[in-house]
Amino acid sequence: MKNNSQNFFDMFNANDDLKINALLSANINFNCIQLAVKYDLFTHLEDGINELNSLAKKNDFIPSRLYRLLKCLENINLIKETSDKNFYLTRMGERFLPNKKGNYANLTNLWSTEFYKAAENIDKALRSEKSAFECTHNESLYSYFNKYPERATTFNLAMRDLSENLNKNALYEMDLSTVKSIADVGGGSGASIRNMITQNAHLHGILFDQKSVIDSAMKEMEDFQYKNRVELISGDFFKPLPFKVDCIVLSNIIHNWNDEKAVQILTNCRKALNESGKIYLIEAALESSIEPLLARTMDFAMLLLTEGKERTFSEFEKLFHLANLKFESAKNVLNMTCLIEVKEK
């Protein structure tokens, strides 16, 4: 007998007890996603291996037990059983295919390994000035990934995909009509600079990041149609930047750092601007009419992973003042993030 079409997300329209149990069971749902990513279940479904026994055979699973995992994935709208013991990907499920642009497979990998382990020490972060990640691994997030290139690749890909999903619409909100040169500072794999260059035929761009990141980004830039309009430069944004441009983009950079380091980054960026230049920050602004829906969750994630935080407007204004910058404008972008514009005083 078929059940009704209710799923996990319907619980948030239900009574308080169901809502509470939905929240408490979130980790179970994540474990199901993590297993599906680890054992390529989403990829197998995409490849046409849809029948339960065939899926089970791929990883030597017991079919009846795999079925329970698949039904949990169906309950959170990632797959659908359309006939007896046959499953297919939903639109949301396709977002976990590792070969798809803007997928969540790499981020799932991180949250099920290094990040998950760090979460066990979140109480230590509440009693110190260190992140839970540093309390766990005895070094900062970035120092850790510098030591493990293979994991750094996963991290960089996860940040690329997250940027593609959360920030791409903010790029379209930027006024680049009078901008001739633009730099994405800390731009990772270059997904954002490629978007900006593609959308603005008059622009020349710079992708600036650490050498290891730039070395990896070069591979992704090889097939880019407009690569002749993008320059890749490696360096350290805590030191003077080796270029001058009309506009700089800092996409989810400032929230990774404490106030002192954030001011240093902003100051170096200001000094790299041409006359009348501007800086766009893509960040979540707290305690404001434009606070994104997940801003508080993101802020707690910063406590877990970095020495930084999401900031209120008054905290941003303090940073801007110390970096000799003035606030120009800010807007909410699809309830996912905020776009903040600043210029030199």
Contact assessment for residue 338 and residue 290, using Cβ atoms and an 8 Å cutoff: yes
**Rounded-to-integer distance, Cα 134 and Cα 143, Å:** 10
Contact assessment for residue 265 and residue 289, using Cβ atoms and an 8 Å cutoff: no
Convert 284-321 to b/e letters by CB count within 10 Å (16 or more is b).
Answer: bbbebebbbeebeebbebbbbbbbbbbbebebbeebbe
Contact assessment for residue 304 and residue 230, using Cβ atoms and an 8 Å cutoff: no
Q: Is 202 a catalytic residue?
A: no
**Nearest partner of 292 among 249, 338, 240, judged by Cα:** 338
44, 202, 204, 255: the active-site residue: 255
**Rounded-to-integer distance, Cα 97 and Cα 37, Å:** 8
**Rounded-to-integer distance, Cα 132 and Cα 117, Å:** 9
**Rounded-to-integer distance, Cα 321 and Cα 110, Å:** 36
Just list the catalytic residues. Answer: 255
